[in-house]
Structure 1
């Protein structure tokens, strides 16, 4: 892959499977894309409406209310204490969702030449962001000894697609590796509120980072935990020197979170009840789907956190995709996420209870 060549958009290759699934008399159960389907909680909707009179431009920095709410959320939910969120150099800023940030971060940091290290099985946008910036990519689940020119590390815990959670020991190894080389280590923690079998630890937690966040960034999102993917509401926090570099670039590019969305974000980050409700919904769907998948003959690997089941029948992923399409169920092939995923498929928990129950019935018939 060259710096000028983006990969094909992977979900386009699912069209034949979607067409096959659409022939099922009970309709399609689409578990291929993790887009929330439950209502956005009132706490966000009310705050959004109350802030709808917004004639002026928002700032890339974010409102004081939002930055304070974000710092409080990081402390309350993740045990992370960031530098003064209202200081002259920011420690947390809002982003237009998390995918935009993932895709643009190498560019926003001004990285020129070198290699971006990403997980073996990974969200495709990590690679896309490197390609857009003209950088090379190395896939590795452990700190590599043989990369001569690293410029950025992406971690993803809990991981998409496989739900793998990195232990504090694994996170500390990456932090030490990055700091020894002066390479920023960035953790995508968008599923951090959805630990099932394991409680995820943030890369910014003092047990991992130590007393300072030098060289470290964390990415968070309200899309899943607050059922607000349509709001495009994300956060970047950590080392103020790195956050400031991203903020300055975003100011120039006009990458601004709308003011009403910032108000909704502040309200959401201050309310834990709606997050627990979403968690209980997803947990119940996970339990039903997992039992059905195993009854069908699939094995669930990892999946200890996040919004997906990582399933294999020890066969090529496209064979499994076709088997499930015959049942009217659409899933994502593991090949979307790198060569190491070619014998797995990803099932999302983001379907209505009615559609989840339909999938369960078909898998256990």
Structure 2
């Protein structure tokens, strides 16, 4: 009884690392004291308007008195399938691979972060299990594994994993924070390695449409040239937050192995994790529209070019960054020294150490600020 009381008295938050953004508060205050105000390039949050196609879909779906279905509307899931095929050549996804099952290979979720953080719990991963993530990684991968008591290993090389068989292996291409794009041959190798061992491979592909290097476009692991024409043992996570300025709508989906999707669906039904009906209609409409994505891509490309030139002029080297919404910058000094240097100029950036020990000499610079704020940052860097 005492042991039960002790466990109940220990807050879950005690298992987790400190929330990284809290460590930036002192530097944020310093940046805000700049006479021309802060230029916040630390978080990749959209600042441009939500596209009209999304706003119109929301207005038309505003009357939604009933409960939504957890699996999502047929139209919403089909829009995700059509988008993956049209934009990235993914084939073979079906709404109902087994007649009468009510299951499918696509599941809408309430933002990709919620899915990523809860995935180990929903898949029954726990103590004694191993979760592998990239050496430089979105912190929520570790948070999800830590919450269920699983062991986390940061490794970019398959040989570094050793003899143990992971329950779950995360891929992230294009990468947050580095913007690195993994080549198709590497993705194929990881798919084969995971299948040989029965490891579930989950690919975070939320920046797939935010690519800048035309010679090396990113690929989905669900593409038949990478998956071998089968989605067994593979999931891909996608978000509309970046491509469509829908961060406030929490629209995302997971696609791939129908059996794993069915398992997630069964758990999420019991928890009542349902994407609201209006957001489902918005997701279907925005996935079907490429015009607003092209326009937003052009805005980001222009901001990226301005910031990159200014950073390089200030003595920073840009590594990777061929995709995503960030520039991975270094002057070969401790990242917190760089953070302070930027803050002294009224610019807030993210220290690379937030994403793993391998980032301790880099900073992540987002180019999601307005044109005016990006221009202000560039002027300060040139000065």
Instruction: Tell me the TM-score range normalised by the shorter chain.
Output: over 0.9
Worse overlay, 217-226 or 18-27:
18-27
Q: Deviations over 1:87-138 (max 9, x none)?
A: 4331001000100001011111112331100000000000001001210001
Deviates more, 1:140-149 or 1:175-184: 140-149
Runs of 4+ in 1 over 6 A off after TM superposition: none
Number of aligned positions between the proteins: 364
Q: Distance in 2 between matches of 1:335 and 1:211?
A: 38
Of 349, 353, 357, 2:375 maps to 357
Match of 2:261 in 1: 243
| Secondary structure of 2:222's aligned partner | coil
- 2:69 is matched with 59
| SS of residue in 2 equivalent to 1:346 | strand
Paired residue for 1:159? 175
Give the counterpart of 1:95 among 106, 109, 113. Answer: 109
- Across the aligned residues of Structure 1 and Structure 2, the Cα RMSD in angstroms comes to 1.2
Aligned to 1:136: 151
SS at match of 2:358: helix
8 Å contact from structure 1 (residues 335, 342) kept in 2: yes
* Structure 2: gaps (5+ residues): 1-11
Q: Residue in 1 aligned with 2:287?
A: 269
Q: State the TM-score, normalizing by the size of structure 2.
A: 0.93
Match of 1:104 in 2: 118
Partner Cα separation in structure 1 for residue 296 and residue 335 of structure 2:
30
**Equivalent residues of 2:92, 2:229 under 8 A apart:** no
The answer as to 2:333 corresponding to 1:318 is no
Select the residue among 40, 48, 56 that pairs with 2:50: 40
- Is the 1:4–1:132 Cα contact (8 Å) retained in structure 2? no
Superposed CA deviations along residues 276-303 of structure 1, whole A, max 9, x for unmatched, are 1111111110011000000000000000
Shift in alpha-carbon separation, 1:115–1:14, aligned structure 2, 3 A: same
Q: Which of these two proteins has the greater Rg computed from alpha carbons?
A: 2
Distance 2:323 2:332 in 1: 22
2: CA distance, partners of 1:342 / 1:335: 5
Normalised TM-score (structure 1): 0.98
Pick the aligned partner of 2:230 from 195, 200, 212.
212
Offset of residue 9 of structure 1: 0.6
